[in-house]
Structure formats: structure tokens, C-alpha cells
Amino acid sequence: MRRKALKQKEVRTLSNVFWGNTESISEQIKEKYSFQKKFTLELGCGEGEYTIDLALKYPQKIFVGIDAKGSRIWKGAKYALENNINNCFFIIQRIDRLNHIFQPNTVEEIWIPFPNPFPMRKSIKQRLVHKRFLDVYREICIPGARIHLKTDDETLFNYSIEVCKEENLNLIAATDDLYNSPFYKDELTITTRFEIQHISNNKKIKYVCFSL
């Protein structure tokens, strides 16, 4: 069996990974964590670098890494279990289905580090800051919840700022050179595998933060 297939199979046996239909995932979360708590999400989490580092930094909070591909989540989920990081978990599911998993007012913050920028105009609706995703976030987030986007892609960076204007969102921060900005501190110093690759290719890291 190929390594990717092995990961896909094993990740579904891990106790900190929830998968299946949205109703099943929602019930699993209720049983283990209770919706009385608030969650911070990492969308398109891949190996879950932000999920894990934030969980270590804030042990009193709960962090959730979400990705449609179980093989991507495998590494982060295994690491969390092996290192007893108990305030985070992972979900295998599409981002546009999150409003069928989380109840209203249960998400306090969202991180979107280095998502696929979907540069072609025909794929704009796939961008994680498109209105159709914002409508999902609005259903599950507390009032004033902050959404953080990190990217190397100029088109996605500019698009995010335009969406904030069009949707009348509160633009809190925006820079096309994070490392040389006053925002580069605390959580924003967490690096992902993709971020390291972009830096090695001399690309500037861009950052946008807005609230709903």
C-alpha cells in the first residue's frame, strides 16, 4: 500500500481526528469538548503547524485544524498525540461545511495560513476569503471574531482587502511585508512548511486581519 494511502487509513484511527458526515463530526465534538467552549480554527491546516503551536502557547484554549485531505492532517495529529497536546484536535471535512459542524457563536478566531490562492478568475469562489466562505464563518463565529490570512500571493492579498471593503468588514491590519512590519510578533511568528519555502525563494510574506 502506498504511503499516502497508509496515512489516509491510519489518520482515521487517531483519537484526536474527527471525520465522516457533518452530523457525526458535530456529535463527536459535543461528546468530547462540549459546545459551551469556544474554538479557534486553522483552515486548510495541512500538517497543522498553527494548530499545534497555538495549542502549546495557549493551553487554556481549544484549537482545531481542518483539512479536506486526511493524509495532510496525519503528521500534525500524530505529533499532538505523541506529545500529549490535549487542547487541539483535527477534522477531515470541507471548509464550506463548517456551519453544519459548529453551532453559532462557538468560534472565536480563524487562521488561514498560506491557502491555495486560486489565481484564475474562474476559481475565485474557491478562495477561503470569498463571500460564500465568509457567510459560513458568520454563522459559527462570535461577534467581532478575527480572521487572519497569511500568504505569499499578491493577488490573494489584494483580493482580501477588496473583500473587506465590499463586505463592510473591519480591516484591522494589512501589510505586504509582514517581516518588516510592526505586526510581526507573537502568533504571527509561527511558521509553516509553506512559509519557510516562500522565504527561501525570497518572497515577501503578506498578512491581512479583519473581523466580521
The 10s digit of each residue's pLDDT in 133-188 is: 999 999 999 999 999 999 999 999 999 999 999 999 999 999 999 999 999 999 99
- Mean pLDDT, range 34-51, rounded to an integer: 90
Domain span including residue 7: 1-99
pLDDT at position 36: 66
CA distance 94 to 150: 20
Maximum Cα–Cα distance for the chain, whole Å?
Answer: 50
- Are residues 81 and 23 located together in one domain of the fold? yes
* pLDDT in the model for residue 8: 87
- What confidence score (pLDDT) does residue 6 get? 87
Residues 91 and 129 in one domain: no
Give residue 35's pLDDT band: very low, low, confident or very high (50, 70, 90). low
Q: How many domains does the chain have?
A: 2
Confidence of residue 5 (pLDDT cuts 50, 70, 90): confident
Same domain, 74 and 155: no
Same domain, 110 and 183: yes
* pLDDT at residue number 73: 96
Enumerate helices (H) and strands (E) in the chain, giving the number of each: 7, 8
How far CA 147 is from CA of 23, 31, 34, 160, in Å, comes to 25, 27, 23, 11
Q: What cell was used for 125?
A: 469562489
Runs of H (alpha helix) within the chain: 3-11, 22-32, 49-57, 70-82, 131-140, 154-166, 193-200
Q: For 91, how many CA atoms within 13 A lie in the half-sphere containing its CB?
A: 28
Q: What are phi and psi of 51, to 5 degrees?
A: -55, -50
State the Cα–Cα distance between residues 159 and 127, nearest whole angstrom: 9
Residue 160: what pLDDT?
A: 98
Q: Is residue 148 located within the same domain as residue 184? A: yes
The percent of residues in the chain predicted with pLDDT above 90, rounded, is: 90
Instruction: Supply the CATH number for residue 56's domain.
Output: 3.40.50.150
Q: Are the beta carbons of 189 and 183 closer than 8 angstroms?
A: no
Mean pLDDT of 118-130: 95
Residue closest to 73 by CA, chosen among 44, 40, 99, 96:
44
> Radius of gyration over alpha carbons of the chain, in Å?
17
Task: Single out the residue in 99, 120, 152 at which a domain terminates.
Answer: 99
Among 72, 99, 126, which residue terminates a domain? 99
User: Residue 116: CA atoms inside 13 Å, Cβ hemisphere, count?
Assistant: 12
Predicted model pTM:
0.95
